[in-house]
Structure 1
Amino acid sequence: MSRRSLLVRLGCAAALMILLALAAGGVGLTLIFDRQMERRAVAELALYLKALAAEVRLDADGTMGLEATPSDPRFEQPYGGLYWQIDGPRRQQLRSRSLWDEALPTIDTPPGRPLRARWIDGPEHARLLSVERTIVLDDTATDTKVHLLVALDRADLQAERRSFLSLLVPSLIGLGLLLIIAMAGFIHLALRPFRDLQAHLQAVRSGHGRELPRGVPDEVQPVVDELNRLLAFHDASLERARTQAGDLAHGLKTPLAVMGAAARRARDGGQGALADEIDEQVGAMRRQVDRTLARARAGMAAALGYGSTPVGDAVNKTLRALQTLPGAQSLDWDAEVAQGLRFAGDEGDLMEILGNLLDNARKWAHSQIRLVAREAGERDWTLVIEDDGPGLPEDEALRIERGRRWDESRPGTGFGLAIARDLVEAYRGVIGFSRSSDLGGLRVSITLPGQQRKE
């Protein structure tokens, strides 16, 4: 598919939007997880802080101590990731064994203030989430302020975050793939009316229909209606042109017949030279009219797309007709046509092409004429006609292109080839003249459109 494909564009846009949405969702979920994890950590540290506050004592001599230390083993392991610290009067300080010989920075706050959570620097260049509070010991003679701090290493939080991401990222990737597949299927179904429209247009082009069906979605219906109107106008215009061409041919027959009759009267009156000149001009006019009408008829048939013609049947009919002509019985006619080969055009045009080419071969062949028709690619087919006659000089092909006879010794020689060329070109085909390597005579090769194969 090219980059201009609507399916590719919609698919890429949908995939990009899905990826952006999942990325934004992943970032949002991670932020929410971090926030909730931090709140849970603060709540857990607050519980440790309350436990420490309940265990702090001040002896009679003013020495600060603890009735019991928190039971979490991380407090006992050096740099274990969980720390507590108590700052009392006379610069007394109690620390968990996990701090080893480190001290944590504190901020002096008035007693009674809510818990304060902040990030601080810890041992081994670690970042710690700390909860601290200043309390007053009521069981002493004088109100003694004590500052309590409990902290958690961010590495513990990051471990939980990595565990969360290890589940979140594969889940988002899997969800993204499912959404992309689902969106691709949705786009495929959404574009189905356009594929159906293409198939119906191909059917019209190949002659299997004259208009597009109307049972399409509302968004496509205006396009179908406009195309049907265009097809109807096109058909009407071509039919009118075809009728006018037929009328023109019929209208020219009478003047040509009158001129022929005048030539006969002149010959009867002893004016043979004048009669021959009139007959020659009448014949030239008839051939020119026939050629022009054949080209116009072929062009209209190709444009209208009226059905297709079995090549084998047209070849058989043409051969049967030609074999009744003088000298044809003594020739060896060799015809090979691929089975199922069809010509996308009018049967009469195909038989006229075959008739002109085979008749020219009949006039010049010594003993053998060969015809081969076979497929050439997905939509085209080739026709090769060869004979064992004298052949056509290459410099004479241009004369045939111009509709001139390349040999005046035989009646009509070369003009049928020019008509065949016109018909082939009207169907957007290609015709070429060369010398046959097998038979030695003229070799005519033609490439014509065949009936499009249905997928």
Structure 2
Amino acid sequence: MIRRWLPNRRSIALRLMGLAVVMVVGSLILSGIILQALFVANLEASVKRDLEAAMTRLIAVIDPSTSTPSISAPLPDPRYETPLGGRYWQIEALDTKGVARSRSLFDQQLDVAPQANGSIVHWTNKDRFHLILLSRDITIDGRPYRVTLGEDHDPIHQASQAYGWDIGRLFALMAIAIVGASWAQLQLGLAPLNRLRSAVDDVRFGSVGRLEGAFPSEIEPLVSEVNALLSEREELAQRGRRRASDLAHGLKTPLAALHGIAMRLRDKGQGDEATVLDDLAHEMSTRVDYQMRLASLRTRTGEHRESSSLNTAVLRTVAVLRKTQDGENLHWMAQLGDDPDVDIHRQDLMELIGVTLENASKWAHASIAVSTATAGAMALLTIEDDGPGIPDELIKKLGGRGMRLDQNVPGTGLGLAIAGEILDINGGAIAYSAGERGGLKVEVRLPLARR
């Protein structure tokens, strides 16, 4: 479940989500910077309007009759009279170099050149005294003056910081909400792909033969192509089975003819030649049956994987073998654990258990022990007989096609080879060793079925 919600680096969901996060975060950061800049610009514009109005009032009260600049009446804002009160004015007589300042300036001197059209400037002295200034050159009764008004920039800076923090908190919540909504939208948009994957799994494990269900129009062409491919594979498999069946039936007639020729040779007294023909016909018939069984296994397991009960297959196979000539005189002991479902087709499982138990019944003297268990993600089937056993140097040769260690025991030597083929196809393994009962011990491992 965790892996599903944490996609890997090649995931479309991760790429789209990463792009959404970058776009959302980048857009909000850029928006915050622009909004804060607009906020500061509006505050400074408001200050400029106030300074322009104050400039008009200050110019109106300048007294040009004195050599040192002076005003005939104080300005109404009390901040001009409070040292470092936040509002400041300065008047400089350009002809006499006399200077008049507001009490709020205390011991500060505004040394700013006049700006064209009375534009706003930012002024900072060595004491980090940061002001917004408006300065103009005027002439009153023929005397030149430079009039400067200023206001502290710190309140604007503090308001800008507070506004920035408020925007940051608001945009952080918005980013979380937008990213969460984007993730939900992404999951909803990719849900059809998850359904498609589940449908493919159903086909792979044999639950259905085709992709079924309603899919969006964008995915329908892919579904149609996959279904067409499945149909083509099924047709090729059916064609292969028919050709294999035709080949087998086509060979049966010549093989029967060989047996007939062998019988006529034996009637004529040519027993050796008849025996050679019988052996050749029997070997060819055995090979044909073996390849037919393998062809059936490959076709079935490659396309129709299913979940099968291991214990049920063991009990059914034992019940059948107990009625055979080799098995009716044996004591069968089954120690079955929790019923594990294995990832193998039921018919393949029956074939696998059948050939391994049949091999044990041929060699056992009196008893056969069968047990099942689970070990991690694998199911373990153990078969042990009390037969004569096999030398260690020959155990490694078991499972080879046509390998018969004792020619006196009936059989073709292909049973364990078929068991090996079944396990190779289904991801299992088989191991042979000397058993505690004196005979052969066979351990078969099969992957557990997916829950």
Mapped partners of 2:50, 2:366: distance in 1 = 110
The alpha-carbon deviation at position 95 of structure 1 amounts to 1.3
Structure 1 residues 61 and 448, CA gap change in structure 2 (3 angstroms): closer
Mapped partners of 2:36, 2:437: distance in 1 = 83
Q: Counterpart in 1 of 2:442?
A: 444
Helix, strand or coil at the partner of 1:103:
coil
Q: Counterpart in 1 of 2:333?
A: 333
The alpha-carbon deviation at position 389 of structure 1 amounts to 2.7
TM-score when normalising by structure 1: 0.88
In the alignment, which of 112, 115, 119 is matched to residue 118 of structure 2?
A: 115
Helix, strand or coil at the partner of 1:91:
coil
Q: Which moved more, 1:334-343 or 1:96-105?
A: 334-343
Structure 1 residues 84 and 188, CA gap change in structure 2 (3 angstroms): same
**Map 1:379-418 → 2, pairs under 5 A:** 381-396=379-394, 397-398=396-397, 400-412=399-411, 414-418=413-417
1:129 aligns with 2:135: no
**Map 1:97-108 → 2, pairs under 5 A:** 97-108=103-114
Percent identity of equivalent pairs:
29
The alpha-carbon deviation at position 440 of structure 1 amounts to 4.4
Structure 1 residues 332 and 213, CA gap change in structure 2 (3 angstroms): closer
Q: Counterpart in 2 of 1:82?
A: 87
Structure 1 residues 107 and 368, CA gap change in structure 2 (3 angstroms): same
Mapped partners of 2:397, 2:78: distance in 1 = 105
Q: Counterpart in 1 of 2:240?
A: 241
The alpha-carbon deviation at position 192 of structure 1 amounts to 0.9
Number of equivalences: 442
1:228 aligns with 2:233: no
Mapped partners of 2:51, 2:8: distance in 1 = 60
Q: Which moved more, 1:94-103 or 1:398-407?
A: 398-407
The alpha-carbon deviation at position 172 of structure 1 amounts to 1.4
The alpha-carbon deviation at position 223 of structure 1 amounts to 0.7
Whichever residue aligns with residue 256 of structure 1, its letter is: L
Deviation string 1:202-229 (CA, Å, 9 cap, x unpaired) is 1011111111125211111111111111
Helix, strand or coil at the partner of 1:433:
strand
Deviation string 1:67-88 (CA, Å, 9 cap, x unpaired) is 114534375224x543221223
Mapped partners of 2:401, 2:347: distance in 1 = 23
Residues 403, 418 of structure 1: 8 Å contact kept: yes
Mapped partners of 1:440, 1:97: distance in 2 = 117
Mapped partners of 2:211, 2:81: distance in 1 = 82
In the alignment, which of 26, 31, 42 is matched to residue 20 of structure 1?
A: 26
Q: Counterpart in 1 of 2:418?
A: 419
Mapped partners of 1:323, 1:54: distance in 2 = 126
Deviation string 1:404-429 (CA, Å, 9 cap, x unpaired) is 22322312274311121122223343
Deviation string 1:7-51 (CA, Å, 9 cap, x unpaired) is 111111211121221122122212212221221221232233334
Mapped partners of 2:434, 2:87: distance in 1 = 99
In the alignment, which of 30, 36, 42 is matched to residue 36 of structure 2?
A: 30
The alpha-carbon deviation at position 269 of structure 1 amounts to 4.0
* Structure 2 segments unaligned to the other structure (5+ residues): 1-6
The alpha-carbon deviation at position 300 of structure 1 amounts to 0.2
Helix, strand or coil at the partner of 1:191:
helix
Structure 1 residues 280 and 11, CA gap change in structure 2 (3 angstroms): same
Structure 1 residues 395 and 244, CA gap change in structure 2 (3 angstroms): farther
1:314 aligns with 2:313: yes
The alpha-carbon deviation at position 337 of structure 1 amounts to 5.5
The alpha-carbon deviation at position 136 of structure 1 amounts to 4.5
Helix, strand or coil at the partner of 1:68:
coil
The alpha-carbon deviation at position 314 of structure 1 amounts to 2.5
TM-score when normalising by structure 2: 0.88
In the alignment, which of 43, 58, 62 is matched to residue 56 of structure 1?
A: 62
Whichever residue aligns with residue 332 of structure 2, its letter is: D
* Structure 1 segments unaligned to the other structure (5+ residues): none
The alpha-carbon deviation at position 198 of structure 1 amounts to 0.5
Structure 1 residues 7 and 340, CA gap change in structure 2 (3 angstroms): same
Helix, strand or coil at the partner of 1:157:
helix
Mapped partners of 1:390, 1:409: distance in 2 = 14
The alpha-carbon deviation at position 394 of structure 1 amounts to 4.8
Residues 120, 129 of structure 1: 8 Å contact kept: yes
Name the Cα RMSD after superposition: 2.7
Q: Which moved more, 1:195-204 or 1:310-319?
A: 310-319
Deviation string 1:425-448 (CA, Å, 9 cap, x unpaired) is 233432222233x44432222333
The alpha-carbon deviation at position 395 of structure 1 amounts to 4.1
Residues 401, 413 of structure 2: 8 Å contact kept: no
Mapped partners of 2:262, 2:337: distance in 1 = 45
Whichever residue aligns with residue 339 of structure 1, its letter is: D
**Map 1:33-432 → 2, pairs under 5 A:** 33-59=39-65, 64-73=70-79, 76-78=82-84, 80-88=85-93, 90-108=96-114, 114-122=117-125, 124-137=127-140, 142-213=141-212, 215-305=214-304, 307-328=306-327, 329-336=329-336, 338-339=338-339, 341-345=341-345, 347-375=346-374, 381-396=379-394, 397-398=396-397, 400-412=399-411, 414-432=413-431
Mapped partners of 1:143, 1:66: distance in 2 = 18
